[in-house]
Amino acid sequence: MIFISLGQFLVKYDPNHIYPDHTLLTLHHNLCTTKLLTMKKLLLLAGIAAMIYACGGGTQQDNTASDEASSSASSSSTPTPADNPDGVGKFKDVQIPEKLDAALAEKGQSVYDVKCSSCHKLSDERLVGPGWKDVTKRNTAAWIMNFVTNVDEMLNTDPKAQAQLEICLVRMPNQNLSDEDARNVYEFMRKNDGVQ
């Protein structure tokens, strides 16, 4: 007599008993699928473990300690999106003067009028995408400039971008902004957020 565990079921199997064919078949089938499932789970676990190891780069403890602080320090190793407030793309650590550059903001406004206003309001109200009120307070300059020039990769990898996608349910289409336009639009967003 053997007891075989199938997930939460305990199946009694007596080798001396003559089972009708289909019972054995089912038993065999169940055994195979549980084995397969367990294998899949194991593989998945191994995969996750490998990923965590790879992303951590051997300094997992440091990375979890402080996201903001470690991302600037670890810029030489490839940072994961999760610990990178600037997102993914060509812009890193963009320095913006405190005072508004009115000329840039004006150019940014014309980009907004043509390419962005159909989906983004300047208030905090959502249209297709989130309203732009306080967008410069929610994200770093580099994050916004990376988002608008590298939107697909950002939506695929950046947790903040993905959180917005979950709310809006529409993927923002690539607007083909030049780096200069990205900077101009950012300045217009700052103006909208009250920078003078």
Residues that bind ligand HEC (CB under 6 A): 111, 115-116, 118-120, 128-130, 135, 138-139, 144, 147-148, 155, 164-165, 168, 170-173, 175, 177, 185
Residue 19: CB minimum distance to ligand HEC, A: 56
Q: How far is the CB of 195 from ligand HEC (least distance, A)?
A: 16
Q: Which two tokens stand for residue 140?
A: 């770093």
79/154 with CB nearer ligand HEC: 154
Structure tokens at 50: 């490998």
CB of 139 to ligand HEC, least distance (A): 6
On whether the CB atoms of residues 63 and 70 are closer than 8 A, the answer is yes
- In this structure, what is the dihedral angle of CA atoms 64, 51, 174, 149, given to the nearest 10 degrees? 50
Angle (nearest 5°) at CA 137 between 152 and 193: 105
What is the length of the chain? 196
Residue 99 beta carbon to ligand HEC: minimum distance, rounded to whole angstroms: 22
| Residue nearest ligand HEC, CB atom distance | 129
